[in-house]
């Protein structure tokens, strides 16, 4: 059964990006890869047109979201497409028509608890059945790309535009009709990061601050929590933060998110400062801490950290300078006070940039390692940083989007030019 946090989503091992609106990026309640000494990773891949993510529906169902980009170079509207693919060969079984989008930015997709597939891409939301037939479409209010969505525990869909100039506007949609369920909420500043959610509470990372909104059932609208906000860039020269990870007690994210990604994040930072890992207590937002990831100038990221709640480990990276680092979390005086991070392991010259994937039961961390025009997917032991296996994806670009777990001890790895199935094979 789906947990309360996932009650708006279909009951599958990976129904949406990051496996849930808390963005834990972890496969819970299912077996991990459990790679043995006599086994190794192997890959099967196909070329794609800007793949963003895969999500899982019923057993054997794998949905792939792709989108166009060429038209955007000429100021024209782009579109997205959903395909139901073969879980082993990756061949397309059926696919949707081209879905109107508009301004280009990688969107989002999820299988909802009503059994339908929801896509938010460009300035449109689209609802499809699981045969990829279009049921409803809705144009969203602002003529800018919308940065995916979250589904609340009550089933309502919350989405917003992405911009570094226009203030963010939150829209709440009915999951069956895509019609508005409340008046839009104007946020005080622009927001780059995707939304996150716990239950019926939505978290927004703005260009300088992070706040949250609760769904008020009596008023039928989102209401900002006046007691909880954090100005994470106060007195700091770093640039904005990206997606936020919600654990039981804390919000975690990284800053210095301004970059000029084209093929990869290598050297792509646009700010001279080192990038930082942030933690904000969910019970007392004045309890805010940050740590430099590599300490090297020009650090940059475009994605969230990962927190292993069972093992109390946090993993962060500096994509621009190729550093990957893990700490043990020590809570000496409770969850609403300052905590300590103990260095656990640190891998240099490791090209991580994508969203990550954790197999929670086995402690296997799935992550990318990129060198110029060559991407590999690597399985690490999250406790030690020790490498268990790696394989080439065949991609020329560095993945910065969303992997998902598969159905048969496998992983689907999306990057801009390729979709790769990572699976297990015996050693030669």
Residue by residue, DSSP assigns 230-266 as E-TTTT---------EE-SSEEEEE----B--SS-ST
Mean pLDDT along residues 154-179:
98
Share of the chain above pLDDT 70, in %: 98
SS (H, E, C) 119-167: EEECCEEEEECCCCCEEEEEECCCCCCEEEEEECCCCCEEEEECECCCC
Mean pLDDT, rounded, for 297-312: 98
| Mean pLDDT, residues 251-263 | 97
- What tens digit of pLDDT does each residue of 18-45 get? 999 999 999 988 789 999 999 999 999 9
User: Do residues 262 and 347 lie in contact, with contact meaning Cβ atoms separated by under 8 Å?
Assistant: no
All residues at 6 or more sequence positions from 43 whose CB lies less than 8 Å from its CB, including other chains:
377, 391, 392, 393, 394, 420, 421, 422, 423
Q: What is the rounded distance in angstroms from the CA atom of residue 423 to the CA atom of residue 412?
A: 9
CA–CA gap between residue 250 and residue 271 (Å, rounded): 27
Phi, psi of 314 (to 5 degrees): -120, 135
What's the pLDDT at 4? 40
Query: How many CA atoms lie less than 13 Å away from 225 in the CB half-sphere?
Result: 19
- In this prediction, residue 70 has a pLDDT band, given cuts at 50, 70 and 90, of confident
Res 73: pLDDT: 67
Tokens describing residue 8: 């708006």
Is residue 252 very low, low, confident or very high in pLDDT (cuts 50, 70, 90)?
very high
β-partners of residue 118 are 110, 127
Report pLDDT digits (tens) over 104-117.
999 999 999 999 99
Mean pLDDT of all residues in 127-138: 98
With a cut of 50, say whether residue 1 has pLDDT above it: no
Write out pLDDT tens, residues 175-221.
Answer: 999 999 999 999 999 999 999 999 999 999 999 999 999 999 999 99
Closest among 313, 408, 423, 318 to 377, alpha carbons compared: 423
Q: Which residues contact 368 (CB under 8 A, 6 or more apart)?
A: 351, 352, 353, 354, 375, 376, 377, 378, 393, 398, 399, 413, 415
pLDDT band at residue 71 using 50, 70 and 90 as cut-offs: low
Q: What percent of the chain has pLDDT over 90?
A: 92
- Write down the residue that tokens 């989108």 correspond to: 67
Mean pLDDT taken over the chain: 95
Give the mean pLDDT of 359-385: 97
The band of 383, judged by pLDDT with boundaries at 50, 70 and 90, is very high
In angstroms, the first-to-last Cα distance of the chain is: 40
pLDDT, residue 3, reads 40
Question: Is residue 137 a contact partner of residue 94, using CB atoms and an 8 Å limit?
Answer: no
What CA–CA distance (Å, rounded) separates 148 from 328? 31
* pLDDT beyond 80 at 353: yes
- 47 pLDDT exceeds 70? yes
Residue 2: the pLDDT is 39
- pTM of the full predicted structure? 0.96
pLDDT class of 416 with cuts at 50, 70, 90: confident
Question: pLDDT per residue over 49-69, tens digit each?
Answer: 899 999 999 999 999 999 998
Specify the DSSP class assigned to residue 321.
T
**pLDDT exceeds cutoff 70 at 74:** no
Average confidence (pLDDT) over 410-415: 96
94, 132 in Cβ contact below 8 A?
A: yes
Please, is 93 exposed, middle or buried when counting C-beta atoms within 10 Å of its C-beta (0-12, 13-18, 19+)? middle
In this prediction, residue 250 carries a pLDDT of 98
């Amino acid at each position: 059964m789906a947990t309360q946090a996932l009650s708006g989503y279909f009951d599958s091992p990976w129904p949406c990006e990051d496996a849930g609106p808390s963005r834990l990026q972890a496969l819970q309640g299912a077996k991990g890869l459990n790679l043995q000494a006599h086994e190794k990773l192997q890959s099967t891949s196909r070329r794609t047109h800007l793949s963003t993510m895969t999500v899982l529906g019923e057993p054997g169902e794998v949905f792939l979201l792709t989108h166009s980009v060429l038209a955007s170079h000429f100021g024209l509207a782009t579109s997205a497409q959903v395909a139901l693919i073969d879980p082993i060969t990756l061949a397309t079984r059926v696919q949707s028509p081209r879905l109107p989008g508009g301004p280009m930015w990688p969107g989002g997709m999820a299988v909802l608890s009503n059994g339908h597939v929801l896509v938010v891409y460009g300035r449109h939301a689209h609802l499809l059945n699981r045969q990829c037939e279009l049921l409803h479409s809705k144009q969203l209010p602002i003529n800018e790309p919308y940065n995916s969505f979250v589904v609340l525990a009550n089933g309502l869909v919350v989405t917003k535009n992405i911009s570094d100039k226009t203030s963010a506007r939150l829209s709440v949609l009915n999951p069956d009709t895509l019609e508005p369920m409340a008046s839009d909420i104007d946020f005080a500043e622009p927001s780059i990061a995707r939304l996150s959610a716990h239950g019926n509470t939505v978290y927004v990372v703005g260009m300088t601050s992070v706040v949250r909104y609760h769904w008020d059932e009596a008023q039928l609208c989102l209401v900002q929590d006046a007691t909880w906000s954090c100005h994470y860039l106060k007195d700091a020269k770093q640039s904005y933060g990206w997606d936020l990870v919600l654990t039981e007690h804390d919000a975690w994210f990284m800053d210095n998110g301004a970059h000029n990604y084209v093929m990869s994040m290598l050297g792509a930072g646009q700010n001279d400062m080192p990038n930082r890992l942030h933690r904000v207590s969910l019970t007392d937002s004045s309890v805010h801490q940050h740590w430099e990831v590599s300490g090297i100038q020009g650090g940059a990221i475009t994605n969230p950290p990962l927190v292993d709640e069972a093992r109390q480990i946090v993993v962060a990276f500096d994509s621009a300078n190729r550093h990957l680092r893990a700490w043990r979390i020590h809570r000496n005086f409770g969850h609403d006070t300052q905590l300590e991070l103990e260095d656990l392991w640190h891998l240099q010259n490791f090209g991580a940039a994508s969203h990550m994937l954790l197999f929670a039961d086995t402690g296997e961390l799935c992550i990318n390692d990129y060198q110029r025009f060559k991407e590999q997917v690597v399985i690490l032991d999250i406790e030690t940083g020790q490498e268990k296996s790696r394989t080439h994806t065949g991609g020329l670009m560095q993945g910065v989007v969303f992997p998902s777990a598969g159905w048969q001890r496998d992983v689907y790895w999306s990057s801009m030019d390729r979709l790769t199935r990572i699976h297990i094979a015996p050693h030669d």
